[in-house]
Amino acid sequence: MILPLFIALLTQIQGICGQSVDKNGVTILEKIEEVERQMLNVFTLVSVVAPCNKISAPENPHSGQQTSAEWVRIVFHDTITKNIEGPGLGGLDASVGFEADRPENVGAFINVTLGQFTQFSSIFLSMSDLIGIGLSDSLATCDQPLARRIPLRVGRMDATGPGPAGVPGPTDSLAFAQAAFTKAGFTNSEMIQAVACGHSLGGVHHENFPDIVPDPNDPENLFGRSPFDSTPDVFDNTGVQEYLTRTGLKGGPLVVGPEATRTDFLIFNSDDNATITAMSTPSSFENTCLTIFQKMMDNVPAGTVLSDPVTVRPWILRESHLDLLASGGVTFSGTISGHSTPAPPATANYFYGTVGGGNTGQKTVQQSFVYPNRPNGGDPEDTLIGFGTIVDYEFNDTLSSPSITSINIMSSYTAPVNLNIFILPSQSFSNPVNGQRQSIIRVAVLGTLATTGTTMSLRIWSPNRQPGSVVPTFVNQNITMSFLRTQGDYKIYQAVALTGDGAPGSTTVQANLGTTQASVKVQTGSLKPCTSAIPTTC
């Protein structure tokens, strides 16, 4: 995974008071901003799923384990066991992570898929939110040439244990499937739509279902995949057409396979093919599928408050951090990202707002990178993610005005800049120690705020393993910081902490000056190592 050294979410505590927060103190606004950064960064989830025919196990290039199809499948397996008549539990809540060993979840796809997602885990997006983003990325990657996206909403809560069993499988009866969908809040027509849409990608493997798919004895098809339709690497209506016209693969192995496993045929024919016939054109198929998939993603446990659909703004501050020069001057650097069709301009304009509504004057920055061209020469289709051309602009400024409070980009995006208290990436370090991370975090506090008796603390959220699931849970701790030195107008404080237990995911830190001031929450990413035998001397 490629991550910047520090990813700062530029939302001050003062600017978000009044918003509800989750158990980690993260607001919906912070989650939305993280989604925007995910969507406009081709090195996040989309890099794992694109192109559409990418195999999930590089060591088995002929396995036929299509990542895009598995990302669609996991949404179904997670959400379909909800009971709308029960206590309101279940739905898209990542409980599937505790259910990988159940026979109804045959194959390693759950742990493989969630393992792919965990490298992007942080306190800002739950695993169930990441599953939703994965579905959106998967369909956009495979939806040629439109790359349409399901509207994303965030705020899902992850389960802390397994949910009920009951995912319909190939050997289950039509009545069993209908009962499961009804219990989860879906009509018979929606059941048909979900199956037809979900089976546009991928296929059935002999390795998992030898009674359905015979062994092809083909070294180019090691796991014996039998695709659902003639275009298993494209999200389209081919499977519906082949089923209705009895051409090509005729609907796939769950239509024409052994009689006891023709569940797709029974489901499609349960209303005399009325629903699936209505999906037969490319536009009706796509519109129907995006609607039913959105309903599945928004089928969440009772009490979950989801955001409005996220619209990725045309300009965002994708990555940024404040730091100190040796002289004590403050620097502010990072990446501005823009997206549009046609491409964004060769330069981006921005200015810094100051106390009282003034500003420091307009600045201009040149393009630093243009997507969808991959930096290592990959296929341009690898980054076809539905946002036109994405352009990055890197900036690095020395802030001479102590009254700066914000940055305004292209007169359309504004984010606060907090010069009172900020974490110092150039003076912070991290080393592996017996399966944990030893982090040395240093923070700059404006000297006029750090008076006698000042209490500085560091809150740390770190990923830890949880029994029964590959999905990490985030544990937080508060550590008292000690004064280190004065640097220019700032006092430097530090804390040394052991974090995590080797679980994947990003550690996040936030410095607090008593109860009155707080830095932005910062994902530490890949801190540089401290090579000194005495870490605090680094």
Q: Say if CB 122 and CB 159 are below 8 A apart.
A: no
Cis amide prior to 51 (ω within 30 degrees): yes
Write down the pLDDT at residue 220. 80
Q: Can you tell me the distance from the alpha carbon of 342 to that of 40, in angstroms, rounded to the nearest whole number?
A: 16
**Helices 174-183 and 188-198, axial angle in degrees (round to 10):** 100
Q: Does residue 306 form part of some domain?
A: no
Q: Are residues 277 and 158 in the same domain?
A: yes
Write down the pLDDT at residue 7. 43
Q: Can you tell me the distance from the alpha carbon of 517 to that of 455, in angstroms, rounded to the nearest whole number?
A: 11
Amino acid, single-letter form, for residue 62:
H
217 burial type by CB count under 10 A (0-12 exposed, 13-18 middle, 19+ buried):
exposed
Contacts of 490 (CB under 8 A, 6+ apart): 324, 328, 444, 445, 446, 447
DSSP per-residue string spanning 114-150? HHHHHTT-BTTB-HHHHHHHHHHHHHHHHSTTT---P
Write down the pLDDT at residue 49. 92
Q: Are residues 122 and 174 in the same domain?
A: yes
Number of independent structural domains in the chain: 3
CATH of the domain at 492: 2.60.40
Q: Does residue 23 form part of some domain?
A: no
- What does the angle CA 132 – CA 134 – CA 137 come to, to the nearest 5 degrees? 115
Q: Does residue 174 form part of some domain?
A: yes
Q: Are residues 212 and 260 in the same domain?
A: yes
Q: Are residues 409 and 468 in the same domain?
A: no
Q: Are residues 336 and 435 in the same domain?
A: no
**Full domain range(s) for residue 382:** 315-415
Q: Does residue 246 form part of some domain?
A: yes
Write down the pLDDT at residue 9. 41
Q: Say if CB 136 and CB 288 are below 8 A apart.
A: no
Dihedral sign for Cα 26, 30, 32, 36, please: negative
Q: Does residue 169 form part of some domain?
A: yes
Q: Are residues 377 and 399 in the same domain?
A: yes
Contacts of 5 (CB under 8 A, 6+ apart): 321, 425, 525, 526, 527, 528
pLDDT tens-digit readout, 222-281: 788 999 999 999 999 999 999 999 999 999 999 999 999 999 999 999 999 999 999 999
Q: Chain-centre distance of CA 411, in angstroms?
A: 28
Dihedral sign for Cα 97, 101, 106, 108, please: positive
Q: Does residue 309 form part of some domain?
A: no
- What does the angle CA 450 – CA 452 – CA 457 come to, to the nearest 5 degrees? 55
Q: Are residues 287 and 384 in the same domain?
A: no
Q: Say if CB 20 and CB 27 are below 8 A apart.
A: yes
Q: Are residues 141 and 197 in the same domain?
A: yes
pTM of the model: 0.92
Contacts of 218 (CB under 8 A, 6+ apart): 224
Residue 478: both structure tokens together: 């508060």
| HSE toward the beta carbon, residue 83, CA cutoff 13 A | 8
Helix (H, G, I), strand (E, B) or coil at 446: strand
Nearest to 406 by CA among 467, 359, 374: 359
| HSE toward the beta carbon, residue 178, CA cutoff 13 A | 11
Q: Are residues 66 and 202 in the same domain?
A: yes
Q: Does residue 148 form part of some domain?
A: yes
Q: Are residues 199 and 322 in the same domain?
A: no
**What is the residue-averaged pLDDT of the chain?**
89
Taking the chain (538 residues) in consecutive chunks of 10 residues, what is each chunk's mean pLDDT? 39 43 90 93 89 81 85 96 80 95 89 94 96 94 84 93 93 96 96 98 92 87 90 96 98 95 97 98 96 96 91 95 93 96 94 95 94 45 68 95 95 95 93 85 94 89 95 95 95 92 93 92 83 77
Nearest to 442 by CA among 398, 477, 479: 479
Q: Of 415, 444, 479, which residue constitutes the final position of a domain?
A: 415
pLDDT tens-digit readout, 455-509: 999 999 999 999 999 999 999 999 999 999 999 999 999 999 988 898 999 999 9
Q: Are residues 426 and 326 in the same domain?
A: no
Radius of gyration from C-alpha coordinates of the chain: 25
Q: Are residues 118 and 256 in the same domain?
A: yes
- Terminal-residue alpha carbon distance, the chain: 26
Contacts of 118 (CB under 8 A, 6+ apart): 127, 463, 470, 471, 472, 503, 504, 505
Q: Of 415, 444, 470, which residue constitutes the final position of a domain?
A: 415
Q: Can you tell me the distance from the alpha carbon of 320 to that of 336, in angstroms, rounded to the nearest whole number?
A: 9
Q: Of 381, 415, 449, which residue constitutes the final position of a domain?
A: 415
Q: Does residue 12 form part of some domain?
A: no
Q: Say if CB 362 and CB 350 are below 8 A apart.
A: yes
Q: Chain-centre distance of CA 450, in angstroms?
A: 37
Write down the pLDDT at residue 19. 57
Write down the pLDDT at residue 270. 98
Write down the pLDDT at residue 353. 97
